[in-house]
């Protein structure tokens, strides 16, 4: 579905990558940033080969200003609408690389992950800091797939940011994931 006002809007190929697959749409917007600001957990795909491959596909099309969105995209807009106005919203959105510390509870153990994340929300490098053990580092070659792990517009990320020097120090002292030492 396309809205009425397409003045000064371009057509962007948009992906919601959920790990083992993804949903694709064409979205009319004034900029790629506007697409990411209006819809949570999406990326604008600019790779010419990928864009050309999808030109022939009959993807649903939407306009950022339209009142109704295709299934899936509507939920991503609702999620973003709920975030807008919260402290920290979009604070990390325009960065090429972001360093974060995120905590997870795994098997009754707290694990902190230090992550170097690109502008698309995908990990570039990661340091695992378990409470009880050896600090490990890993990169894309160590992961079977690498979907976006963060949405850089998400308000709570601002409170998880760490410095590049903190990340690099931990990276330098961590063992490689595949190390038997």
List 91's β-bridge partners, or say none: none
User: pLDDT tens digit string along 144-162?
Assistant: 989 999 999 999 999 999 9
Domain assignments of the chain as residue spans, ordered by start: 10-83, 97-176
- Rounded Cα distance between 148 and 154, Å, is 13
**37-58 burial string, b = 16+ CB within 10 Å, else e?**
bbbbbbbbbeeeeeeeebeeee
pTM of the model: 0.87
Of 53-57, 60-64, 111-115, 169-173, which range is least confident?
Answer: 53-57
Q: What is residue 1's predicted lDDT score, i.e. its pLDDT? A: 45
Residue 2's nearest CA partner among 22, 27, 37, 24 is 27
Six token digits for residue 86? 């919260």
Distance in angstroms (rounded) separating the CA atoms of residues 134 and 100: 20
- Strand 97-106 and strand 109-118: the pairing is antiparallel
Percent of the chain with pLDDT over 70: 94
Residue 31 half-sphere exposure toward CB, CA atoms < 13 A: 4
Which range (52-56, 94-98, 122-126, 165-169) has the least confidence?
52-56
Residue 16 confidence (pLDDT) above 60: yes
Per-chain mean pLDDT for the chain: 92
For residue 167, the model assigns a pLDDT of 98
- Give one DSSP letter per residue of the chain, joined into a string: ---S--TT-EEEEEEEE-SS-EEEEEEEES-HHHHHHHSTT-EEE--HHHHHHHHTS---EEETT-S---TTHHHHHHHHHHHTTSTTTTTTTT-SEEEEEEEEEETTEEEEEEEEEETTS-EEEEEEEETTS--EEE-GGG-S-------TT-GGGGGGB--HHHHHHHHHHSEETT---
- Higher-confidence residue of 37 and 107: namely 37
pLDDT digits (tens, 9 = 90+) for 61-119: 999 999 999 999 999 999 999 999 999 999 999 999 999 999 988 777 889 999 999 99
Which pLDDT score, from 0 to 100, does residue 7 have?
67
Predicted confidence band of residue 179 (pLDDT cuts 50, 70, 90): low
Kindly state the greatest CA–CA separation across the chain: 62
């Amino acid at each position: 579905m396309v809205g009425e006002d397409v003045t000064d809007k371009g057509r962007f190929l948009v992906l919601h990558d959920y790990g083992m697959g993804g949903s694709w749409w064409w979205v009319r917007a004034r900029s790629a940033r506007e697409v990411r600001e209006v819809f949570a957990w999406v990326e604008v795909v600019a790779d010419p080969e990928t864009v050309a491959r999808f030109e022939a596909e009959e993807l649903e099309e939407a306009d950022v200003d339209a009142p109704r969105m295709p299934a899936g995209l509507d939920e991503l807009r609702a999620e973003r609408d709920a975030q807008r106005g919260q402290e920290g919203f979009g604070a990390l959105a325009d960065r090429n690389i972001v360093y974060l510390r995120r905590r997870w509870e795994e098997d009754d153990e707290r694990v902190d992950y230090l992550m170097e994340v690109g502008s698309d929300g995908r990990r570039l490098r990661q340091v695992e800091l378990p409470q009880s053990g050896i600090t490990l580092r890993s990169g894309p070659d160590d992961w079977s797939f690498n979907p976006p792990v963060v949405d850089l517009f998400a308000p709570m990320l601002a409170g998880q940011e760490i410095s590049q020097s903190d990340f690099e120090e931990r990276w330098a002292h961590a063992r490689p994931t595949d190390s038997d030492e």
